[in-house]
Amino acid sequence: MLIVVASYALKLSFSVFFYIFFFVLRSGPVHNAHRSIDLV
């Protein structure tokens, strides 16, 4: 039971971390780079 809960928590935290990483990456340097390319 404890292993199942631990694996579920690990999967949930990993998905949240991946979502936050993707959101920051999309709204961060990549977006600014696309904006600078549009200006050029």
Q: Encoding tokens for residue 27? A: 């709204």
> C-alpha distances in angstroms, 30 versus 3, 8, 12, 17, 18?
38, 31, 26, 18, 16
How high is the pLDDT of residue 34?
Answer: 63
Q: What's the pTM value of the predicted model, to 2 decimals?
A: 0.49
pLDDT tens, the chain, 40 aa long: 899 999 999 999 999 999 988 888 777 666 666 666 665 5
Three-state DSSP string of the chain: CHHHHHHHHHHHHHHHHHHHHHHHHHHCHHHHHHHHHHHC
